[in-house]
């Protein structure tokens, strides 16, 4: 790469003086990736912390973990469960608990101290906690209760044809009294379906407690999770108490998938509640769901994902979830003693409300029909305030786009009714927001509102799995900033219990190809460690006996398995997640899935070439990549990743075997598809991108393939043609092959097809198709046209790695690679553009080891980089500059600067080893 700044480059560095005396601390203590998780069932959980220390070169030289059975013991520095002693190690994550065996319900209080680079101990951290769940079968006492008969609300009035079967959400209640003064109350709750739970009228899960759709989506025939809550503060010591619950059909029995089929996993939703009151003397009183509970139909006439929710406030029963309520008219429950599926602790982050949105515009589209523009495509619902006579019916319909006449565009929702109906109870200022449904939308159509809704009467509620946001990206292009915002919103809209394809139409499934192409980008935006830990179990649960990984997971319907680029989620996702979070245990857990997939591919290939089957490079633009080429390329990659995993896990024989197989597949690929001039069968951008990214070509063919790729882009007037498969690798390949200028051109394009085209036309999310809407053709085929599909948002990965320059150089961001690549390239000269690159970029990523930040700008022929390397990590910083001979920090050669050591030069770049700290480099 050539340096565009000046003929000779001088590198200067100005140390940002940081307080040298900063004491080191251990912060952000987590257990199995979560802060203070309750009710886990991992018996050797892994602990982690971040070392915070602003000093240059800050590093941990040793640590000591204390785990105690009570807060008092921990405060007295007694690790009665585990005292690791002083361990000489720089490890801060994946520390395996190695103390006394952990039993059901145990509470484990822990803290850690560390020794800094100079060998000085830090103070102990703040105390953290995890608790154990129900580890033995005999710990499970509650039964599974539901309604006798169907889940159709008996008071359901006449409704339109589409909605006629929509299931309702019954209420359950139980009163109990407390036998002895308690020191702790814990509730374990679950459902075949989704539940909302309250104690003495206070929400524990669902509704105001902020959590939605517990216990999450799994293949309920195989695995059902329970959630654990500490409810000590909700229990009234003297006097009667009550548990209330609402049960919805959810993913279990409600309509899901693109056939909108019901009863995929079972017909009869069930609720599980086990409340344990631990007395001061250690004895436990258990209140468990059983025959003595009662049920009634309340206000939730309908509640399903695709159809929406109907709530009749007139049917509310004040006090139903508190003690003293007269439930004599309530019915007995149906009881199932136990379920066949594995019953396990929920291992991930629940779905929660993650934001609220204020409407930007309200229009009266026709009399009594208002269109509310929330200004953002997102997933969730709205909270509506209304005051009107009892029985007033307000209907809310949701849409992503508007028709030319200003009405909502709902044809792309296909069979999803996506309608919430709210029947006013007649009280002052009623608030309504649904509990058992969500929609993917930007616009809400409100019909029947009593009066004229104002912007203060309606608020958007964004929900998604509570994956902490860890990335930020800003740059000199407002369009690219919008693109980044659109990517994050679309990730949020689709990370709802599982990674889905889209949140709006009758689909919303865990399409494996989508997760596969987006997963690495997703890690930059949010901490998805526990989210993918859970979903990879869903994926393996869905794997077919012949080894084929399915097109969707959890299983919904038999769509297919072993499909190229979709099934490969079975290797690519575990490899990616274990790489980003240095999680060998996860790799080991899913190693079997990886091997079985490779063997499936081997079985289903001829002379190591896969058949021309599958979805191909889904939604590419006028460029059909041959399916056998895609299949064989992914077969090679899955084999390569499996060989790598075998090496990491120490399975030497497998490592050799799959390495050899990889070589053979590559040879077969080259023989069958690659011509002497480097042309690949199909001659599409995706062909070259795959071959280069998966390293399938011999050295001499690589530049040729890159040349064909760049020529194809040029021949299309500087446009991409890639679909789901190619787009995720396109920009990284351009960057790696010395064509970052072409990548910038694609990034900054506003003509069709490009990311910028959608943004120019008002996109607030990532569209499923490049041509979801075009100026000349309008909307694409409504049969498949979502405006919130994250696959093309996979570009975020390159934005972080090659634009901001934040990458890991080994597993888990312990060694970093800081390699910003401003828009300089070689080879093909792009057509004149108003802007050939970006003039500044500012990004950060909170990694497993803490916050990494870069900030660069080009100004007056200089390139300036500010970089923060977190404590206890080291980085290779690669700058766009010629040799090191003119490198200066002030007047001293940079190789002598504190925390910085010259490593080597590469064509057009100079590399330094940089220790923890904050630095500023100047290239002149
Ligand atoms: C989904 C996709 C999925 C594809 C398979 C679509 O209907 O929305 O995102 O990957 O089917 O080709």
**What is the sign of the dihedral through the CA atoms of 290, 143, 288 and 282?**
positive
Q: What is the pLDDT of residue 293?
A: 98
Q: Each residue of 469-519: pLDDT tens digit? A: 999 999 999 999 999 999 999 999 999 999 999 999 999 999 999 999 999
The C-alpha torsion from 51 through 52 and 56 to 59, rounded to 10°, is -20
Residue 274 β-bridge partners: 188, 288
Atom 4 of ligand 1, nearest CA residue:
511
Q: What is the pLDDT of residue 617?
A: 98
Residue of 618, 723, 794 to mutate, ligand 1, most atoms within 8 A of C-beta: 618
Q: What is the pLDDT of residue 19?
A: 36
Which region among 75-79, 274-278, 919-923 has the lowest average model confidence (pLDDT)?
A: 919-923
Structure token pair of residue 598 = 């490779």
Q: What is the pLDDT of residue 17?
A: 35
Q: Each residue of 376-430: pLDDT tens digit? A: 999 999 999 999 999 999 999 999 999 999 999 999 999 999 999 999 999 888 9
3-state secondary structure labels for all residues of 357-388: ECCCEEEEEECCEEEEEEEEEEEEEEEEEECC
CA of 301 to the centre of ligand 1 (A): 32
Closest residue by Cα to residue 412 from 1, 782, 894:
782
In whole angstroms, give the CA distance from residue 200 to residue 774.
54
User: Mutual orientation of helices 584-603 and 652-673 as an angle, nearest 10°?
Assistant: 50
Residue of 514, 766, 792 to mutate, ligand 1, most atoms within 8 A of C-beta: 514
In whole angstroms, give the CA distance from residue 252 to residue 555.
11
**What is the sign of the dihedral through the CA atoms of 760, 765, 769 and 773?**
negative
Structure token pair of residue 738 = 């010395």
Ligand 1: atom nearest CA of 501 is: 9
Determine which one of 302, 516, 540, 768 is catalytic: 768
- What's the whole-number mean pLDDT along residues 782-795? 95
**507 carries an active-site annotation:** yes
Q: Are strands 144-146 and 284-288 parallel, antiparallel or unpaired?
A: unpaired
Tally of CB atoms within 10 A around 331: 14
Residue of 400, 504, 512, 513 to mutate, ligand 1, most atoms within 8 A of C-beta: 513
What is the three-class DSSP state of 242? strand
In whole angstroms, give the CA distance from residue 763 to residue 463.
20
- What's the whole-number mean pLDDT along residues 343-350? 97
- What's the whole-number mean pLDDT along residues 331-335? 98
Atom 12 of ligand 1, nearest CA residue:
615
- What's the whole-number mean pLDDT along residues 45-50? 98
Which region among 82-91, 257-266, 588-597, 622-631 has the lowest average model confidence (pLDDT)?
A: 257-266
pLDDT band at 894 (very low <50, low <70, confident <90, very high): low
CA of 822 to the centre of ligand 1 (A): 34
In whole angstroms, give the CA distance from residue 297 to residue 277.
29
Dihedral class, residue 808 (left if φ above 0, else alpha if ψ from -120 to 50, else beta): beta
CA of 514 to the centre of ligand 1 (A): 8
In whole angstroms, give the CA distance from residue 277 to residue 267.
33
Q: Is the pLDDT of residue 1 over 70?
A: no
Asked if residue 42 lies in contact with residue 58, where contact means CB atoms within 8 angstroms, the answer is: no
CA of 726 to the centre of ligand 1 (A): 15
Instruction: Name the phi and psi angles at 256, rounded to 5.
Output: -140, 165
Atom 2 of ligand 1, nearest CA residue:
501
Q: Each residue of 829-845: pLDDT tens digit? A: 333 333 467 889 999 99
Q: What is the pLDDT of residue 365?
A: 95
**768 carries an active-site annotation:** yes
Closest residue by Cα to residue 216 from 592, 537, 563:
537
Atom 11 of ligand 1, nearest CA residue:
511
| Own/partner long-range contacts of 137-141 (Cβ < 8 Å, ≥24 apart) | 139/104, 139/105, 140/274, 140/338, 140/343, 141/274, 141/286, 141/288
Residue 342 β-bridge partners: 223
- What's the whole-number mean pLDDT along residues 139-150? 97
Q: What is the pLDDT of residue 893?
A: 52
Neighbouring residues of 835: CB distance < 8 A, sequence distance ≥ 6: 477, 748
Distances (CA, A) of 294 to 291, 351, 494, 873: 8, 28, 36, 57
Q: Is the pLDDT of residue 898 over 90?
A: no
- What's the whole-number mean pLDDT along residues 852-868? 88
Q: What share of the chain has pLDDT > 70, as a percent?
A: 93
Number of residues that this document lists for the chain: 924
pLDDT band at 887 (very low <50, low <70, confident <90, very high): very low
The C-alpha torsion from 254 through 257 and 258 to 260, rounded to 10°, is -10
CA of 137 to the centre of ligand 1 (A): 39
Cα angle: 598, vertex 599, 603; to 5 degrees: 120
Q: Is the pLDDT of residue 158 over 80?
A: no
Ligand 1: atom nearest CA of 566 is: 10
In whole angstroms, give the CA distance from residue 532 to residue 535.
5
Tally of CB atoms within 10 A around 113: 20
Asked if residue 724 lies in contact with residue 618, where contact means CB atoms within 8 angstroms, the answer is: yes
Structure token pair of residue 619 = 């939604």
Determine which one of 32, 507, 516, 889 is catalytic: 507
Q: What is the pLDDT of residue 823?
A: 73
CA of 511 to the centre of ligand 1 (A): 6
Closest residue by Cα to residue 678 from 723, 720, 711, 648:
711
Scored b (16 or more CB within 10 A) or e, 390-425 reads eebebbbbbbbbbeeeeebbbebbbbbbbbbbbbbb
Residue of 615, 723, 768, 769 to mutate, ligand 1, most atoms within 8 A of C-beta: 615
Instruction: Name the phi and psi angles at 16, rounded to 5.
Output: -85, 110
In whole angstroms, give the CA distance from residue 451 to residue 672.
70
Q: What is the pLDDT of residue 11?
A: 37
What is the three-class DSSP state of 309? strand
Instruction: Name the phi and psi angles at 359, rounded to 5.
Output: -60, 145
In whole angstroms, give the CA distance from residue 377 to residue 793.
15
753: preceding bond cis by omega (within 30 degrees):
yes
Name every protein residue with a CB atom under 6 angstroms from any ligand 1 atom.
Answer: 501-502, 507, 511, 513-514, 615, 618, 784, 789
Dihedral class, residue 874 (left if φ above 0, else alpha if ψ from -120 to 50, else beta): beta
Q: What is the pLDDT of residue 238?
A: 81
CA of 357 to the centre of ligand 1 (A): 29
Ligand 1: atom nearest CA of 513 is: 10
pLDDT band at 881 (very low <50, low <70, confident <90, very high): confident
Q: What is the pLDDT of residue 782?
A: 85
In whole angstroms, give the CA distance from residue 49 to residue 90.
12
pLDDT band at 346 (very low <50, low <70, confident <90, very high): very high
Atom 1 of ligand 1, nearest CA residue:
501
pLDDT band at 826 (very low <50, low <70, confident <90, very high): very low
Ligand 1: atom nearest CA of 784 is: 7
Structure token pair of residue 891 = 């007047």
> Considering the chain, what is the average pLDDT of its residues?
93
């Amino acid at each position: 790469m050539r340096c565009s700044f000046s003929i000779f480059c001088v590198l200067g560095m100005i140390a940002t003086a940081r307080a040298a005396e900063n004491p080191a601390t251990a912060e952000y203590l987590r257990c199995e990736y979560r802060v203070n998780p309750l009710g886990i069932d991992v018996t050797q959980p892994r602990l982690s912390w971040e070392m915070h220390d602003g000093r240059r070169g800050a590093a941990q030289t040793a640590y000591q973990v204390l785990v105690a059975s009570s807060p008092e013991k921990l405060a007295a520095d007694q690790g009665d469960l585990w005292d690791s002693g002083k361990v000489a190690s720089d490890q801060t994550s994946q520390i395996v608990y190695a103390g006394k065996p952990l039993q059901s319900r145990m509470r484990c209080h822990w803290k850690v101290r560390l020794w800094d680079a100079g060998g000085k101990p830090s103070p102990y951290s703040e105390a953290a906690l995890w608790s154990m769940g129900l580890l033995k079968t005999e710990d499970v006492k509650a039964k599974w209760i539901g309604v006798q008969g169907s889940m159709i609300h008996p008071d359901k009035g006449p409704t339109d044809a589409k909605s006629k079967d929509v299931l309702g959400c019954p209420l359950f209640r139980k009163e109990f009294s407390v036998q002895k003064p308690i020191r702790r109350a814990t509730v374990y709750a679950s459902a075949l379906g989704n539940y909302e739970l309250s104690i003495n009228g206070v929400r524990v899960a669902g509704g105001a407690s902020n959590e939605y759709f517990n216990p999450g989506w799994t293949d309920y025939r195989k695995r059902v999770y329970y959630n654990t809550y500490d409810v000590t503060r909700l229990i009234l010591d003297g006097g009667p108490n009550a548990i209330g619950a609402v049960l919805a059909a959810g993913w279990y029995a409600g309509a899901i998938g693109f056939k909108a089929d019901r009863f995929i996993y079972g017909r009869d939703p069930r609720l599980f509640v086990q409340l344990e009151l631990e007395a001061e003397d250690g004895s436990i009183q258990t209140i468990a769901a059983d025959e003595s509970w009662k049920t009634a139909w309340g206000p939730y006439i309908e509640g399903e994902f695709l159809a929406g929710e109907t709530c009749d406030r007139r049917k509310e029963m004040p006090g139903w979830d508190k003690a003293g309520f007269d439930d004599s008219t309530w019915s007995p429950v149906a009881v199932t003693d136990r379920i066949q599926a594995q019953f396990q602790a929920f291992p991930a982050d629940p779905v929660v409300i993650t934001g609220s949105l204020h409407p930007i515009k309200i229009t009266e589209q026709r009399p009594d029909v208002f269109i509310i523009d929330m200004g953002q495509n997102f997933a969730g619902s709205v909270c509506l305030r209304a005051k009107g006579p009892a029985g007033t019916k307000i209907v809310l319909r949701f849409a992503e786009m508007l028709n030319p006449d200003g009405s909502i565009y709902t044809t792309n929702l296909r069979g999803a009714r996506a309608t919430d109906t709210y029947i006013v109870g007649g009280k002052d200022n009623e608030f309504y927001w649904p509990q058992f449904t969500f929609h993917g939308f930007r616009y809400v159509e409100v019909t029947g509102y009593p009066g004229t809704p104002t912007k203060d009467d309606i608020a958007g509620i964004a929900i998604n799995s509570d994956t902490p946001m860890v990335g930020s990206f800003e740059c000199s292009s407002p369009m690219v900033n919008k693109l980044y915002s659109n990517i994050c919103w679309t990730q949020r809209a689709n990370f709802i219990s599982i990674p889905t394809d889209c949140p709006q139409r009758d689909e919303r499934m865990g399409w494996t190809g989508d997760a596969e192409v987006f997963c690495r980008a997703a890690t930059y935006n949010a901490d998805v460690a526990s989210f993918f830990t859970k979903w990879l179990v869903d994926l393996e649960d869905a794997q077919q006996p012949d080894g084929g990984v399915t097109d969707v997971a959890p299983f919904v319907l038999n769509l297919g398995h072993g499909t190229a680029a979709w099934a490969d989620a079975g290797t690519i996702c575990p490899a990616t997640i274990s790489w980003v979070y240095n999680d060998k245990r996860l790799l080991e857990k899913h190693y079997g899935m990886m091997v079985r997939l490779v063997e499936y591919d081997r079985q289903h290939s001829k002379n190591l070439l896969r058949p021309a089957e599958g979805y191909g490079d889904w939604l590419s633009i006028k460029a059909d990549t041959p399916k056998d080429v895609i299949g064989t390329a992914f077969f090679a990659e899955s084999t390569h990743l499996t060989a790598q995993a075998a090496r990491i896990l120490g399975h030497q024989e497998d490592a050799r075997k799959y390495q050899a197989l990889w070589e053979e597949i590559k040879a077969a690929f080259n023989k069958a598809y690659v011509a002497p001039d480097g042309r690949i069968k199909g001659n599409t951008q995706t062909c070259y991108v795959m071959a280069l990214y998966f390293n399938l070509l011999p050295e001499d063919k690589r530049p040729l393939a890159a040349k064909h790729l760049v020529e194809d882009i040029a021949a299309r007037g500087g446009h991409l043609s890639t679909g789901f498969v190619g787009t995720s690798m396109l920009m990284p390949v351009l960057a790696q092959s010395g064509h970052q200028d072409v990548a910038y051109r694609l990034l900054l394009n506003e003509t069709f097809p490009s990311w910028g085209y959608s943004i120019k036309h008002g996109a607030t999310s990532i569209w499923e198709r490049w041509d979801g809407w075009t100026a000349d053709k309008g909307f694409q085929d409504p049969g498949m046209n979502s405006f919130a599909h994250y696959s093309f948002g996979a570009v975020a990965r390159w934005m972080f790695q090659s634009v901001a320059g934040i990458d890991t150089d080994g597993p888990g961001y312990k060694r970093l690679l800081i390699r910003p690549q401003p828009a300089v390239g070689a080879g093909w000269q792009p057509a004149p553009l108003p802007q050939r690159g970006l003039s500044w970029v500012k990004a950060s990523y909170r990694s497993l080891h803490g916050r990494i930040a870069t900030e660069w700008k080009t100004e007056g022929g200089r390139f300036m980089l500010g970089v923060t390397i977190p404590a206890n990590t080291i980085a290779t910083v690669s700058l766009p500059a010629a040799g090191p001979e003119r490198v200066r920090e002030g007047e001293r050669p940079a190789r002598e600067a504190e925390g910085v050591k010259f490593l080597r030069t590469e064509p057009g770049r100079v590399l330094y080893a940089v220790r923890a700290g904050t630095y500023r480099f100047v290239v002149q």
